[in-house]
Structure 1
Amino acid sequence: MRGDLAESRQSKDASPVTDGEDIKRILKERALRLAKEPEASAQSVPCLEVLSFMLAGERYAIEARCVTETMPLRNLTYLPGLPGFILGIANVRGRILSVMDIKKFFDLPDSGLTDLHKLIVVRHGTMEVGIVADGLLGIQEIPKDSLQPSLPTLTGVRENYLAGVTDTGTIVLQAEKILSDDRILVNDEG
């Protein structure tokens, strides 16, 4: 053991001693290397940032740029005479929003509402709507070139609002198409 200690002292003594100027130069070189902007890869793929959520046992996503906020579904006021997919209205920070159940809009199985449901506030232009989700999964980036145009199982109304389907089966919706649908626009002219 004493031999190991003696060897370590000798190797330490044999290492070159650097003065303060050498240390400053080395640190400056390191700082300059670390401060450089990373080079843009020629193979960088444009990505789509989405909010993923669950709906009737399936994974859905909507572009994050259209989502203004998310929250638990609370204080829903039901109104008579609305289309079946409009559940009612909710006061969200002083704004009265229509609350849309896209499960009914897409003719998906509905299991009723619970305190666990979430409200996704979606905006496109001047239109802002709350969309009910079974649960939120979070924000993720999806490479645009990985989106498939459709799946054979996605027929009917869902296909009209589809941005694509990921290789993991997440169905990416186009918020602007949903919010500009004639069925949810109310014309007050008489």
Structure 2
Amino acid sequence: MGEEMKVIVFGLADEEYGIEVDKVRTIERMMPITRVPKTLSFVKGVINLRGVVIPVIDLRGRFGLPESEPTDGSRIIIVAVNDLEVGFIVDTANDVIDIDSDTIDTPPEVVGGIKAKYLRGVAKIGDDRLLIMLNLSEVLNKSEIIQLEQQEA
């Protein structure tokens, strides 16, 4: 058996994704997002969360999926990577599950239209459920993080 890991499950365009719980700070309902000029199209702007300004990325846009209007189910998942806090807009976020790290397979080149570099792997859960594990450091790759940090400055 590999290590048990706790994973937050979120939905995006009919697929289920996972992020390790220890990378997630909090999950918030949609809130007003302040647009920031001259940013990449998937950077929606910033939110003020309890006095902290956090950049928000639309994960659909980040992955090149069609963007959609937020719904009642939409959530902003606040993640922390390399001392940077960033919010991801997702369609739903509803579940915390335990998975065994041994069940994570290398991702195929493209999953759900998303390039493999953004993915850590695909976890099999039960007989018919696949969970696409994100590679957060690549989703927030350095050059883009630098752009985000410059906005905050």
TM-score range, shorter chain: 0.7 to 0.9
Instruction: Report how far residue 152 of structure 1 moved.
Output: 5.1
Higher fraction of strand: 2
Q: CA deviation at 1:166?
A: 1.6
Deviation sequence 1:79-124 (CA, Å, 0-9, x none): 2221011001101111001000111111112222234310100002
Maintained 8 Å contact 2:109/2:116: no
Radius of gyration: which is bigger? Answer: 1
Question: What is the TM-score when the length of structure 1 is the normalising length?
Answer: 0.69
- Which one has more relative contact order, counting CA pairs under 8 Å at least 6 apart? 2
CA RMSD of aligned residues (A): 2.0
Distance 1:154 1:84, change over 3 A: same
- Give the match for residue 166 of structure 1: 123
TM-score by length of 2: 0.85
Task: For structure 1, list consecutive stretches of 5 or more residues without a partner in the other structure.
Answer: 1-43
Q: State yes or no: 1:93 paired with 2:54.
A: no
Could you tell me how far 1:151 is from its partner in structure 2? 2.7
Distance 1:152 1:135 in 2: 25
Give, in angstroms, the shift of residue 175 of structure 1. 1.9
Number of aligned positions between the proteins? 145
The DSSP-based 3-state class of the residue aligned with 1:65 is: helix
The aligned amino acid for 1:82 is: T
State the alpha-carbon separation in 2 of the partners of residues 181 and 156 from structure 1: 22
SS at structure 1 position matched to 2:37 = coil
Instruction: Could you list the structure 1 runs, at least 4 aligned residues long, displaced by more than 4 angstroms after superposition.
Output: none
Pairing partner for 1:183 from 133, 144, 147: 144
Q: Percent identity?
A: 28
The alpha-carbon distance between structure 1 residues 181 and 154, as it changes in their structure 2 partners (threshold 3 A), is farther
